[in-house]
A and B are shown apart, each in its own frame.
Chain A
């Protein structure tokens, strides 16, 4: 459960986020949709307490990231925009490192990795060094790494960037699985198909502000359009930066 109200963040003169509010419920997938540079990544970075907001309030399961960063980080699983795997370490070692940083025991880590290898289908490359991994393999390792401590809240920043069709389908299946297990999932993307296929609620961000917020049907109704694509374009006000 995430509650965000009136979030602001500037970098020097650039106002990246100016007044964003939304809610993410447990057992739901919430999509942050917006063109490149709309402020999605900055919003997520404030949620996982990498950046302090200039103004506004964030509550994740009742906790404030500016005060209880460590407690929140225990309940968060984040796949950031930058995957950043260690290429001199095997996939398993990459995942285990994060498990240890979360204070898990070696035994728990091994059990959990076995589960993740199974659900994410990583058997072929789990023992290999991540040097030269394909985008799909890298995303899988990054997801496994983020999920090793079984977090309640999952944040994915552009997870399907650079993936082929097969990997994208597998990824979507996995994200839907998370929702069914009761996790609250927040997903940032600039790909409309992804939002249409996955999200229960859609938050459209443009130029650092909320352009619209609701379920797919609500958005269609509000815009008076027949397709989601037209609805997005109308709500954002331009076609710039969106990908069909």
Chain B
């Protein structure tokens, strides 16, 4: 086993000397991701606030049919504008975000005591029109409720009769659990780091060594090839783990800088949460190192290896994307899926909840098992005579 240790030490120290790649692979993530996070959070927060507080300017079609409603809206601070010729088209082309249309029969319906139709024209699939649309609907609904109450009062009926049910929200989400942006992004960033941290070393020490023709003389030494492979793989895992720790520490310092007021979120990474996350993601580091070493051993050249690495970026993305599109409740069987289970577990740790230890063990165990599978594949690849030859 001393051969393994010798290869490991050499790879770790030799790659420390490559300052630029060290910076790119190990340090860039821990610096870049938190900055990106804080920036995004500020941007999103300020945009949201801006849209919520901005004076609402709404074009109204057929304002003459409902002068009282228009008065009410103006009292609420809405600036009424004259409507464009073709309201639908101008909403579609995003000239205006929302338009109110009061049809001609409004007055008749109103007088007859029937529900009078008011149309709100908007495109909810445009995220930026979401807030103005909701504000307009809110104002119209409250106008409707007020008139309804007045009508009942005129007829001597208590307005409370018309609200047989009152829904009251009992909010159980802790401030932490509301940090959706962080909840989705943090697991993804950590998974990516587990892959990128060791990526350069994996490529350089296998495909690169093949290309520079130093692999052949290396393998003439009396060290079994699986030891050479494990030495390189352990060095890859060490770099990835270092990058992961640095990223977590960086986030710990970055979270207090997030604009909590804007997001309504107060997040922090306790030492326990960090320890838990490292424990959960640790097996991913090993899985990643084994996958990278396998790919690098398959590749005939540095360039080929680098082109495989694009694919590697996709792997940790898949579970995060699934989770983003379809947030689901964590269940026990999910803990057997590598990277997906870590996604869920990181969420639990950040939320500050106590994590089911069985889940943690299952997640670690299954990920390690698949990682060991890749280790075996890499060892087999290293034993092929073909490994040495670049073409």
Q: Is the CB of B220 within 8 A of A83?
A: no
Q: Are A50 and B216 in contact (CB under 8 A)?
A: yes
Chain B residue numbers with a CB within 8 Å of A101 are 3, 6-7, 218, 221-223
- When distances are taken between beta carbons in the complex, the residues of chain A under 8 Å from B216 are 50, 80, 82, 84
A-B contact pairs, 25 of them (CB 8 A): A48-B220, A70-B224, A71-B222, A73-B221, A74-B222, A78-B220, A80-B216, A80-B217, A82-B216, A83-B213, A84-B212, A84-B218, A87-B212, A88-B18, A89-B10, A97-B10, A100-B2, A101-B6, A102-B222, A103-B2, A103-B3, A103-B222, A142-B217, A145-B217, A146-B217
In the complex, A155→B388 CA distance in Å? 18
Report the nearest A residue to B222, measured CB to CB.
Answer: A73
B385 contacts across to A, CB distance below 8 A: 50-52
With both beta carbons as reference points, the residue of chain A lying nearest to B15 in the complex is identified as: A88
Does A98 touch B at the CB level, under 8 Å?
yes
A232 to B221, CA, bound (A): 35
B14 contacts chain A at the CB level, 8 A cutoff: yes
- Inside 8 A of B221's CB, which chain A residues have their CB? 73, 98, 101-102
Q: 1/0 per position for B205-225, CB-CB distance to A under 8 A?
A: 000010011111111111110
- B168 CB–A CB distance under 8 Å: no
Scan B12-28; emit 1 where CB is below 8 A from any A CB, else 0. 00100110000000000
The answer to whether A70 and B222 touch across the interface, beta carbons within 8 angstroms, is yes
Size category of the binding interface on chain A: 20 to 34
Contact yes or no, B14 A88, CB < 8 A: yes
Known contacts being A70-B224, A97-B10, is A50 close to B214, with CB within 8 Å? no
B2 surroundings in chain A (CB, below 8 A):
100, 103
CA distance A48 to B221 in the complex (A): 10
Given contacts A97-B6, A97-B10, A103-B2, contact A82 B220 (CB under 8 A): no
- What residue in chain A is nearest B3 (Cβ atoms)? A101
- Which of B6, B217, B223 has a CB less than 8 Å from the CB of A82? B217
List residues of chain B with CB within 8 A of the CB of A78.
Answer: 217, 220
B388 and A50 form a contact (CB under 8 A): yes
CA distance A199 to B3 in the complex (A): 35
A68-B212 Cα distance, complex, nearest whole Å: 28
User: Which B residues are in CB contact (< 8 Å) with A86?
Assistant: 14, 214
Evaluate contact between A84 and B215: CB separation under 8 angstroms. yes
User: A85: CB under 8 A from chain B?
Assistant: yes
B3: chain A residues within 8 A (beta carbon) = 101, 103
Q: Which of A74, A88, A97 contacts B17 (CB 8 A)?
A: A88
Q: How far, in whole Å, are A87 and B14 apart by their CA atoms in the complex?
A: 9
Give the interface centre of B3, B17, B218, B220 by most chain A CB atoms within 10 Å: B220
A52 to B2, CA, bound (A): 26
A62-85: which residues lie under 8 A (CB-CB) from chain B? 70-71, 73-74, 76, 78, 80, 82-85
How many whole Å from A192's CB to the nearest CB in chain B?
Answer: 26
Q: How many A-B residue pairs have CB under 8 A?
A: 65
Q: Report the interface size for chain B: residues with CB under 8 A from the other chain.
A: 24
- Tell me, in angstroms, the Cα distance from A89 to B16 when the chains sit together: 11
CB distance from B51 to the nearest CB of A (A): 54
6 A-B pairs with least C-beta separation: A84-B214, A82-B213, A73-B222, A101-B221, A84-B213, A100-B6
Most buried by A among B7, B222, B223: B222
CA distance A24 to B209 in the complex (A): 32
Q: Give the nearest-CB partner of A100 in chain B.
A: B6
Give chain B residues whose Cβ lies under 8 Å from the Cβ of A71. 222
Distance between A67 CB and nearest chain B CB, rounded to angstroms:
14
Give complex CA distance A70, B3 in Å: 12
Residues of A within 8 A of B215 (CB): 84
Contact A76 B220 (CB under 8 A): yes
A80 to B223, CA, bound (A): 17
Chain B residues near A84 (CB-CB < 8 A) = 209, 212-218
Residues in A with CB closer than 8 Å to B388 are: 50
Residues of B within 8 A of A74 (CB): 222
Q: Which residues of A contact B209 (CB under 8 A)?
A: 84
**Shortest beta-carbon distance, A70 to chain B, in Å?**
5
User: Do B212 and A50 touch (CB < 8 A)?
Assistant: no
Per the 8 Å Cβ criterion, residues 198-247 of B in contact with A are 209, 212-224
> Pick the contact of B14 from A70, A89, A142, A145 — CB < 8 Å?
A89
Encode contact with B along A13-52: 1 for CB under 8 Å, 0 otherwise.
0000000000000000000000000000000000010111
Give 4 A-B pairs besides A98-B221, A103-B2 with Cβ atoms closer than 8 angstroms: A50-B385, A52-B385, A85-B214, A101-B6
* Alpha-carbon distance A101/B6, docked complex (angstroms): 7
Specify the chain A residue showing the minimal Cβ separation from B204.
A88
A71 to B209, CA, bound (A): 25
Closest to B211 in A: A84
A236, chain B: closest CB distance, angstroms: 27
Distance A200 CA – B335 CA, assembled complex (angstroms): 69
